[in-house]
Every structure is written in C-alpha cells, then in structure tokens.
Amino acid sequence: MSSVPTVCLSCCRVALVSLAQAQHRELTCARCGADARVVPSCSYSESAREQFEELSDVVAEANVTRAEARGSAEAVQHDLWSGSYTRALERLCTRMPGLLPMQIAAGKNAGAQRRILVKLQTILQALASMPRGSAEYAIVPDPTPSRVGEGSRWHRGR
C-alpha cells in the first residue's frame, strides 16, 4: 500500500498516511489532532514509514526553522543530483545530530544514503511550504514559554 506525506498545520510535524486515507478523509495529525494537509511529493511504501517518522522526529528535535528547511531542502536536492550522499549526510549530521545513527547504519551504501536523503528532502520541503508566520522560528514551538507573552507573535517583534 502506498503512503503520502502530510504536514500538520499546527505542530508542523510531517508524517506518512495511506493513500486511501488521504483520498477519503479529512486528515488530522496523529500527534496533536489538528488539521493536516498532503504535501506534493512522491509516494512511499508502507515499509518506509518507520524511517520516515524517525527522520521527521530528528528534524523536529533539531528545531529547524522554515527558512532553514527551505535552504536545506535545496542543498539536499543538489546533493541528490550530484551523488554527494556521504558529504550531504555528514553536513546534515552536524546540524541534526539525531541523524548520526542512520548515517552509521547506512555506512558507505549509496542506495541507503540516497533513501535517507530523499525522505529528508520531502520532510524539509514540507516544512518549507508552511505558512509564512513560522519563517524565523522553530518549526516545533516550545510548548511552555518561560515568561508570560513570550510565546505570542507580538513578543517576537511582529
């Protein structure tokens, strides 16, 4: 069964849902319950779901901003075209240390490295496509601001 990527309009997490679910239901985020939307991308097999979700978690833990996601997605696209998989994963591991176990598991296997990068590119492109309001701030907001008003958009200078 094929799965397609979705992005949550609230928590900005990227996940895979079955194609049948995407065609016949309103989509909601499995993590927060908010509305989600399908991201234009390739479809993935059910066997890709676990690694896709793990990569999505790694990106979220790294607090990647929308602007950073756009730049990283473009860099990954270039790396995929040029075949620079090892160098790309090394660069991404510097920014997202959670990728290190996957990089180690892939080793020098170009096919495994490429599969990781294709999924990462999809996740990063999904985050880059989010509404403009999150351009300068982390994709996954801090759930508990340390001071009153710190979580509001007005506090951020808007």
Q: How confident is the model at residue 61 (pLDDT cuts 50, 70, 90)?
A: very high
What pTM, to 2 d.p., does this model score? 0.79
Write down the pLDDT at residue 147.
Answer: 46
Do the beta carbons of residue 123 and residue 59 sit within 8 Å?
yes
* Nearest by Cα to 20 from 40, 4, 44: 4
The SS3 assignment for 128 reads helix
Report the alpha-carbon distance of residue 71 to residue 73 in Å, rounded.
Answer: 5
Taking only the tens place, the pLDDT of each residue in 40-52 is: 888 899 899 999 9
Taking only the tens place, the pLDDT of each residue in 93-121 is: 999 999 999 999 999 999 999 999 999 99
CB neighbours of 29 closer than 8 A, spacing ≥ 6?
A: 6, 8, 10, 11, 13, 15, 35, 36
The domains of the chain are located at 2-134
User: How high is the mean pLDDT of the chain?
Assistant: 83
Do the beta carbons of residue 84 and residue 91 sit within 8 Å?
no
* Nearest by Cα to 101 from 57, 137, 135, 68: 57
Helix, strand, coil percentages (3-state) for the chain, rounded to 5, are 50, 15, 35
Instruction: Read off the pLDDT of each residue in 22-30 and give the average, rounded to a whole number.
Output: 83
Write down the pLDDT at residue 144.
Answer: 46
Start-to-end CA distance of the chain, whole Å, equals 44
